[in-house]
């Protein structure tokens, strides 16, 4: 057993010595000669190289050889000046999630933001600190760009004027910018207060705002102005509103006229109408019966599940009939 153990140990030491010799250098950094080995020259073990990634090219590199070679996880940065169409500033984005674009000076240069996925360049959205996302930049400022799935990002000149010059700095990081995600979600939801929803037939504007997910939030308690009819009122729409995104409409008939029937209707398209359900209110307490018409001065709370709501006069004899309302963001109690 001892002979076998000795033989194995000798083989291991021989293998280790050969490998160490192959990896060794002299103090001057050159391979030792046979004479130096015979004289017992001092050998310096060669230290293994640490491999990183070049922040400009994205290729593997040896740490310490160049200033752009960094360990994975570090931010990648780049900067430059764009003075012509197709002039670019580019940063490597492999392993990164967000790029910050800082334009510190811009004179007559319009730029686009593009990402490269290994096959083609695609125009990307850039998100400012506040406001809507953009695909072109023509001023100073700071923007954030999601770059997951892209190998490179570039800011490229697309149009220039007289004496053009734009100073651009890029920084790519692996951290997720939650503001960018939030703005992207809002953009995807297409929340546009300026254009939605539509104006009602009485001229009232259904005021809304955008919530944090990009959804529309109605302003509760929208007043519907009073409307009246005093002759030939049968089959007449007293008033109509675009009820979306409201959930209920409070109606008050302040003057019923003579033998007048108000019918409360909803529609998905504004052309095809069906009766909706309403509950009467007396001294703040709701009655148990649900109705879709009224013939007297009364207050009701009606369901508004579709895009449009109207007070339609379906029967009329004489006199003046008047009603008004309030659109609410909450559904009726019976819903």
Torsions phi, psi for 154 (to 5 deg): -135, 145
**Residue 199 placed within a domain:** no
The arithmetic mean of pLDDT across residues 16-43, rounded, is 49
Tell me: do 173 and 129 sit in the same domain. yes
The C-alpha atoms of residue 100 and residue 171 are separated, in whole angstroms, by 5
Residue 289 has a pLDDT of 77
Query: 56 with 80: CB under 8 angstroms?
Result: no
The arithmetic mean of pLDDT across residues 135-153, rounded, is 91
**Residue 66 placed within a domain:** no
Q: When comparing pLDDT for 219 and 314, which is higher?
A: 314
In the chain, pLDDT over 90 holds for what percent of residues? 39
Query: 91 with 165: CB under 8 angstroms?
Result: no
Tell me: do 182 and 212 sit in the same domain. no
Residue 237 has a pLDDT of 92
**Average pLDDT score over the chain:** 77
CATH code, 94: 2.60.120
pLDDT (tens digit per residue) in 114-133: 999 999 999 998 988 777 78
Tell me: do 218 and 320 sit in the same domain. yes
* Count of domains for the chain: 3
**Residue 334 placed within a domain:** no
Tell me: do 97 and 170 sit in the same domain. yes
Residue 61 has a pLDDT of 80
Residue 219 has a pLDDT of 60
The C-alpha atoms of residue 182 and residue 300 are separated, in whole angstroms, by 40
Range of the domain at 249: 208-328
Tell me: do 219 and 316 sit in the same domain. yes
Which of 180-189, 212-221, 309-318, 322-331 reaches the highest mean pLDDT? Answer: 309-318
Residue 19 has a pLDDT of 45
**In the predicted model, is pLDDT for residue 14 greater than 60?**
no
The C-alpha atoms of residue 165 and residue 106 are separated, in whole angstroms, by 6
pLDDT (tens digit per residue) in 263-305: 999 998 888 999 999 998 654 445 567 899 999 999 999 999 9
Residue 18 has a pLDDT of 47
The C-alpha atoms of residue 294 and residue 257 are separated, in whole angstroms, by 12
**Which residues 6+ apart lie within 8 Å of 145 measured at CB?**
98, 99, 101, 113, 115, 124, 125, 126, 127, 153, 180
Tell me: do 215 and 150 sit in the same domain. no
* Domain stops at, among 129, 155, 186: 186
Minimum mean pLDDT among 133-147, 152-166, 285-299: which range?
285-299
């Amino acid at each position: 057993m001892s002979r076998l153990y000795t033989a194995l140990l000798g083989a291991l030491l021989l293998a280790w010595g050969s490998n160490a010799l192959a990896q060794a250098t002299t103090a001057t950094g050159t391979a030792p000669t046979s004479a130096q080995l015979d004289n017992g020259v001092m050998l310096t073990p060669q230290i293994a190289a640490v491999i990183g990634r070049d922040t400009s090219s994205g290729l593997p590199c040896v740490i310490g050889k160049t200033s752009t070679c960094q360990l994975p996880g570090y931010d990648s940065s780049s900067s430059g000046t764009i003075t012509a169409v197709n002039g670019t500033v580019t940063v490597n984005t492999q392993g990164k999630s967000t790029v910050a674009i800082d334009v510190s000076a811009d004179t007559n240069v319009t730029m686009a933001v593009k990402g490269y996925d290994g096959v083609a360049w695609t125009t990307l959205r850039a998100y400012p600190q506040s406001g809507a996302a953009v695909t072109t930049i023509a001023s100073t400022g700071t923007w954030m760009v999601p770059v997951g799935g892209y190998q490179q990002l570039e800011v490229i000149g697309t149009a220039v004027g007289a004496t053009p010059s734009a100073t651009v700095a890029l920084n790519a990081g692996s951290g997720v910018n939650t503001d960018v995600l939030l703005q992207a979600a809002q953009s995807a939801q297409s929340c546009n207060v300026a254009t939605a929803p539509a104006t009602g037939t009485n001229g009232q504007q259904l005021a809304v705002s955008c919530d944090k997910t990009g959804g529309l939030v109605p302003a509760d308690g929208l007043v519907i102005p009073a409307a009246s009819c005093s002759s030939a009122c049968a089959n007449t729409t007293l008033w109509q509103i675009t009820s979306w995104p409201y959930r209920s409409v409070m109606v008050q008939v302040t003057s019923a006229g003579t033998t007048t029937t108000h019918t409360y209707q909803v529609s998905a398209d504004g052309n095809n109408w069906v009766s909706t359900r309403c509950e009467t209110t007396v001294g703040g307490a709701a009655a148990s019966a649900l109705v879709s018409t009224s013939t007297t001065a009364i207050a009701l709370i009606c369901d508004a599940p579709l895009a449009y709501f109207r007070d339609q006069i379906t029967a009329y004899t004489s006199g003046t009939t008047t009603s008004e309302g309030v659109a609410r963001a909450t559904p009726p109690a019976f819903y």
